[in-house]
Amino acid sequence: MGEESGSLNRHDGSAPDSSVLHGSPGLERILREKAVWAVPPTDLEERIRKQLAAFPPADDDSSALPQRPRRGFLTRGRLTLAASVGLVAAAGGVGLAALQGGGTAHSNLAGTPLAPNARAEVGVRDTSSGVEIRLKVDGLPGAPAGSYYQGWVKGSQGTITIGTFHLRKGSDDVVLWSGVDLRTYPTITVTVQSETAGPASSGRVVLTGQAPAAFR
């Protein structure tokens, strides 16, 4: 290996050893050219520099050729815009679906001093027969014997009952129904009522809150 390397790295102007070139006639012809193995002039680098310096500088007028648009940047911009439009459309679709019966909108009711540990998650859905108001109640004990809970919606035109329940056997979802538009009656409350006191509200509110924003 050392002898072959020595033959190929010769710079004395003579042709390489033929044993190195055996089996490569094309390469042999090239390497046997004396110019290939000739030692370059010592001033070659300086001569090349002078020749390059003699050429005039290139015209830097950027307006000479139209710039090609940056495809990657435009593509990312279009994707970002499309994603933003999609999110806005999706958000609008959710609100519209809630108003047209295609989905459920949510809000919360908080306990009052009469039931400070009580709370409820409200799910409202518009249907062909009325507005379904579903309460997932937590922390409110079952109504005492001789009493019950009653749901109401309130607004500028008064108070409308939406149903009754008792929770004595657990707190499964309570389903109430409103026959009036919650935009007019946006406040939702629950009172504790006495069975012998008549249908009017007792005023003893245990849960209160607002209808979901999509219905107000």
In 118-216, the DSSP E strands lie at: 119-127, 130-138, 147-155, 158-165, 174-178, 187-194, 205-210
Residue type, 22: H
pLDDT at 6: 45
Mean pLDDT over all residues of the chain?
77
Q: Which CATH architecture has domain 105-215?
A: Sandwich (2.60)
Please report which helix (H) or strand (E) contains residue 202, including its range: none
Closest CA to 106 of 77, 127, 81, 133: 133
pLDDT at 53: 74
Rounded to whole angstroms, the Cα distance separating 22 from 16 reads: 11
pLDDT at 28: 65
Mean pLDDT of 90-113: 70
**Tens of pLDDT along 159-213?**
999 999 999 998 789 999 999 999 999 999 999 999 999 989 999 999 999 999 9
pLDDT at 64: 42
Q: Judging by beta carbons within 10 Å of its beta carbon (0-12, 13-18, 19+), is residue 216 exposed, middle or buried?
A: middle
CATH 2.60.40 occupies which residues in the chain? Answer: 105-215
